[in-house]
A and B are shown apart, each in its own frame.
Chain A
């Protein structure tokens, strides 16, 4: 590692060269101190960082289902089902339907004959025929059931498939939501379709894809939760807040990642939530000893996410009594467990965890410096594991990867090994991988101290087409630029990692833009774009060339190059969602005025945003997140301006702040 003092000197030299000084943020800070309460959340607010969570690894047991759930995809991952003849048949690439296990159907030319069971169809799907009824022109997502609306028993029989597609049982069982035709019933989850020539549309709150997450920060927010608030996300919460949350008996899913000052007593009050099925406790910090024993009181829980205990910073951690044993009890109840931040355990400790907790579906070993290749043999042979985060695991080499490849059970993998022939060989054997996130190792990059990323990118380009199950790929922009993009890659989502994931950030020259254009034209992908950008460019007009996308990553990004790149995306209508993380409020000045003094007009026009959105012709969703600045002077007018812009472009808008 670099010595600290070297870093201090480097920063000083940089300031001497560039003249860039810290912004004066006193006003913003004082204002935020005066307004400790940031106001109640928007009822429809999406969970903060939802998009990031996609990238950051492991959300739902079936990664593809998670992607479908948040509406990024229009394609479907076939989960089960049998074409007439009862033989499991993988769906052809590019098809836009999925069938539940046991469903009988036949594909005849450009239509599907549904005989019995369930089909989930989406935009681009062939016509579905069933006993004389026809479902066609699907623009969105539609669930079809042969005959009529499903009975409760039929719904229960398909429960696991419905859950895998993130469809809420209560909604499925609600007969009023189904539209009955002569030969089948249809439930429009999103968008519209035609059933026997009649246009049918989604009701407003169908589907968990549109599930409303209620964001709470304060006791006031919690008190004001509506009676039907089933999904709750807490930000900036402390352990004692749970006592207030526990009064809302209707809560089913609770995401309290990053909660501070948590204690065993705080956690125990959650047993008052009889419907709680999902609990996310990752990134929690404890006020006393870590103790998960009280989780045993959560009788309805089916999904639990938590970190491996940070034994280094805790005085005493009784791993067995306070962690493994409670998790073992959870596993005996079939609760699916996600372990985040397992950078602590060595092979022995990890082995003990895996031996005792049999339902760990996801494990993130990011930053682990103690595991060796040999330890990955037990990881590879652990039956339940579907998702593995193996970035920055110092002891992992091609040997450890070979164990994982040999077992070939993983569906999702995050990796940052330097790729060469040997590691590429193992990756190609991982044919069950559905989602792959690759980032360059820290030792590569262009900062003047590192080695080139190009050989690794080229190897990646050779591996990808051979990873035949791959549908979701996340890679840094630099990887795309430096590899020969495989023409035959059939992706459903491609995420371009913009910030901090490659030594060189953003787009640098016109050839980069050209590469994106070629890529977007050839790949079967719904492009998911995420940008970190400063607020100021949004009130300027990108067409004038004034736009200054400093925010893409650490380094400077040439404004003209970026605009060229954005324009190069235009031929592709595959970009379905655009996520913008706004920063730089402290330094934002327009006509000499800081942002909280901006006029409504300055907020309202946002010509830079309009220009940006104009280039994404296939866009359906815009998500914008920022750290709350001032409820009335910034957050509200900015949200209003974004709403207007989204409306103009006919986009669904999700904001979080």
Chain B
């Protein structure tokens, strides 16, 4: 006899707590400014939970939330006459794949560990780019290299960090 069980429907609070970080990070990752991401995260949950929401499992819920969030962001970009810096087709699916590879918090932790392995100049470049958000020309001045070299350096650093984290993911899964 085939027995099917309906997924237990979590409370709204449980749903929000389970998914809000992912929605916010997804928005920021696709180019949404953090303050706006605060607002759009709220709007996303309001739209999904306040509109005859039917729970169909965590994965489906996450997918739906991300899809709504993406459209909220696209709408806001259109209204502000701004530009999307990236093609967002299937973005929510690819984000879910990215998260499924390893938990986001774990990825961030591993990234921090991997940064310790960077050269001093690379660590400085990371700080200038991601923390101080310096223009490329300014970074070039401070690092004593050509502006074009900054781009190359950052690309190399990103690849190094990705490879490092990927190695940790692989070892963890093994």
Chain A contacts to B: CB under 8 angstroms: 1-18, 20-26, 28-30, 32-33, 36, 49, 52, 56-57, 258, 283, 341, 364, 366-367, 389, 391-392, 414, 442, 445-450, 452, 499-500, 503-504, 532, 534, 550-551, 553-556, 583-587, 627
> Are A7 and B31 in touch, CB under 8 angstroms?
yes
> Are A450 and B38 in touch, CB under 8 angstroms?
no
Chain B residues with Cβ below 8 Å from A532 are: 35
> Are B115 and A36 in touch, CB under 8 angstroms?
no
Chain B residues with Cβ below 8 Å from A56 are: 79-81
Chain B residues with Cβ below 8 Å from A7 are: 29-31, 85-86
Which residue on B lies nearest to A257, using beta carbons? Answer: B79
| Residues of B1-45 contacting chain A, CB below 8 A | 12-13, 16-17, 20-21, 24-25, 28-31, 33-39, 41-43, 45
Cross-interface CB contact of B130 among A3, A14, A389, cutoff 8 Å: A14
Cross-interface CB contact of B42 among A13, A17, A367, A586, cutoff 8 Å: A586
Please list 9 pairs of residues, one from A and one from B, whose beta carbons are closer than 8 Å in the complex, sorted by A's number: A10-B29, A16-B109, A23-B24, A25-B20, A448-B135, A449-B136, A449-B151, A500-B80, A627-B43
> Are B131 and A17 in touch, CB under 8 angstroms?
yes
Q: In the complex, A584→B39 CA distance in Å? A: 7
Taking A7-B30, A389-B81 as contacts, is the C-beta distance between A551 and B35 under 8 angstroms?
A: yes
> Are A283 and B79 in touch, CB under 8 angstroms?
yes
Chain B residues with Cβ below 8 Å from A503 are: 135
> Are A392 and B83 in touch, CB under 8 angstroms?
yes
> Are B85 and A4 in touch, CB under 8 angstroms?
no
Which residue on B lies nearest to A550, using beta carbons? Answer: B35
Q: Is the interface of B mostly helix, strand, loop or mixed?
A: helix
Which residue on A lies nearest to B105, using beta carbons? Answer: A21
Give 3 nearest A-B pairs by CB, closest first.
A446-B135, A22-B24, A16-B111
Which of A8, A534, A551 is most buried by chain B, counting CB atoms within 10 A of its CB? Answer: A8
> Are A12 and B36 in touch, CB under 8 angstroms?
no
Cross-interface CB contact of A583 among B38, B49, B151, cutoff 8 Å: B38
> Are B38 and A448 in touch, CB under 8 angstroms?
no
The minimal Cβ–Cβ distance linking B13 to chain A, given in whole angstroms, is 6
Asked if B156 is at the interface (CB within 8 A of a chain A CB), the reply is: no
> Are B134 and A5 in touch, CB under 8 angstroms?
no
Q: In the complex, A11→B75 CA distance in Å? A: 21
Asked if B50 is at the interface (CB within 8 A of a chain A CB), the reply is: yes
Q: In the complex, A555→B112 CA distance in Å? A: 22
> Are A8 and B95 in touch, CB under 8 angstroms?
yes
How many residues of chain B have a CB within 8 Å of chain A? 67
Chain B residues with Cβ below 8 Å from A392 are: 83
The minimal Cβ–Cβ distance linking A185 to chain B, given in whole angstroms, is 43
Asked if B98 is at the interface (CB within 8 A of a chain A CB), the reply is: yes
> Are B87 and A26 in touch, CB under 8 angstroms?
no
Which residue on A lies nearest to B88, using beta carbons? Answer: A4
Chain A residues with Cβ below 8 Å from B46 are: 29, 32-33
> Are A26 and B35 in touch, CB under 8 angstroms?
no
Cross-interface CB contact of A504 among B33, B88, B135, cutoff 8 Å: B135
> Are B136 and A448 in touch, CB under 8 angstroms?
yes
Taking A4-B30, A30-B16 as contacts, is the C-beta distance between A448 and B35 under 8 angstroms?
A: no
Q: Is the interface of A mostly helix, strand, loop or mixed?
A: loop
Which residue on B lies nearest to A449, using beta carbons? Answer: B151
Chain A residues with Cβ below 8 Å from B37 are: 22
Taking A29-B16, A627-B42 as contacts, is the C-beta distance between A448 and B151 under 8 angstroms?
A: yes
> Are B80 and A17 in touch, CB under 8 angstroms?
no
Which of B31, B75, B154 is most buried by chain A, counting CB atoms within 10 A of its CB? Answer: B31
Q: In the complex, A375→B95 CA distance in Å? A: 39
Which of A20, A452, A500 is most buried by chain B, counting CB atoms within 10 A of its CB? Answer: A500
Which residue on A lies nearest to B158, using beta carbons? Answer: A9
> Are B33 and A553 in touch, CB under 8 angstroms?
yes
The minimal Cβ–Cβ distance linking B65 to chain A, given in whole angstroms, is 12
Asked if B141 is at the interface (CB within 8 A of a chain A CB), the reply is: no
Chain B contacts to A: CB under 8 angstroms: 12-13, 16-17, 20-21, 24-25, 28-31, 33-39, 41-43, 45-46, 49-50, 75, 78-83, 85-88, 91, 94-95, 98, 104, 107-109, 111-112, 115, 126-127, 129-139, 150-151, 154, 158, 161-162
Cross-interface CB contact of A12 among B16, B21, B104, B150, cutoff 8 Å: B104
> Are B133 and A555 in touch, CB under 8 angstroms?
yes
Q: In the complex, A16→B111 CA distance in Å? A: 6
The minimal Cβ–Cβ distance linking B11 to chain A, given in whole angstroms, is 9
Chain B residues with Cβ below 8 Å from A448 are: 129, 134-136, 139, 150-151, 154
The minimal Cβ–Cβ distance linking B130 to chain A, given in whole angstroms, is 4
Cross-interface CB contact of B158 among A10, A341, A366, A389, cutoff 8 Å: A10
Chain B residues with Cβ below 8 Å from A414 are: 81
Q: In the complex, A18→B133 CA distance in Å? A: 11
> Are A583 and B136 in touch, CB under 8 angstroms?
no
Cross-interface CB contact of A341 among B13, B45, B78, cutoff 8 Å: B78
> Are B134 and A13 in touch, CB under 8 angstroms?
no
> Are B39 and A627 in touch, CB under 8 angstroms?
yes
Chain A residues with Cβ below 8 Å from B104 are: 12
Which residue on A lies nearest to B133, using beta carbons? Answer: A555
Chain B residues with Cβ below 8 Å from A446 are: 134-138
Cross-interface CB contact of A4 among B24, B87, B161, cutoff 8 Å: B87
> Are B158 and A6 in touch, CB under 8 angstroms?
yes
Q: In the complex, A2→B155 CA distance in Å? A: 12
The minimal Cβ–Cβ distance linking A438 to chain B, given in whole angstroms, is 13
Chain B residues with Cβ below 8 Å from A49 are: 79
Taking A447-B136, A583-B38 as contacts, is the C-beta distance between A22 and B21 under 8 angstroms?
A: yes
> Are A8 and B29 in touch, CB under 8 angstroms?
yes
Which residue on A lies nearest to B83, using beta carbons? Answer: A442
The minimal Cβ–Cβ distance linking B40 to chain A, given in whole angstroms, is 10
The minimal Cβ–Cβ distance linking A458 to chain B, given in whole angstroms, is 15
> Are B131 and A18 in touch, CB under 8 angstroms?
yes
